[in-house]
Amino acid sequence: MSYLALKAILSGLLIAAISEIARRSPAVAALVASLPLVSILGMIWLWRDTSDAGRLAAHAEATFWYVLPSLPMFLLLPWLIRQGMGFWPALGLGVALTVALYLLLTWLAPRFNLPL
């Protein structure tokens, strides 16, 4: 149980740090948030828990493919806000776009033999 708590605390601290950095410098916070820190932590936890190289490789490769559908949200959200849309509706549309692109990816992946 203490190991699970450690994982949760470290992951939570990362998110809290990014939000605090963003209050001072949105660009620096964006840089930190764009780093694959959560993925790296996930891979560290997976390796520590399983030491399974095949599972880790599959996880890393699938993560690459799942990152791609999330990227357009980071262009849509600021565009909608600059067009005068409120934060919550813009965020909702960004999330909806991401979900739609995830669904498209899961439909396309088997057709192109993508390892998800």
Residue 106 has pLDDT above 70, yes or no: yes
- Considering the chain, what is the average pLDDT of its residues? 93
Looking at residue 71, the DSSP 8-state letter turns out to be: T
CA 53 to chain centre: 22
For position 1, what pLDDT does the model report? 66
Residue 115 has pLDDT above 70, yes or no: yes
Q: Give the whole-angstrom CA distance, residue 12 versus residue 2.
A: 15
For position 38, what pLDDT does the model report? 82
Backbone dihedral angles phi then psi of residue 36, each to the nearest 5 degrees: -80, 45
Q: Give the whole-angstrom CA distance, residue 18 versus residue 10.
A: 13
pTM confidence score: 0.77
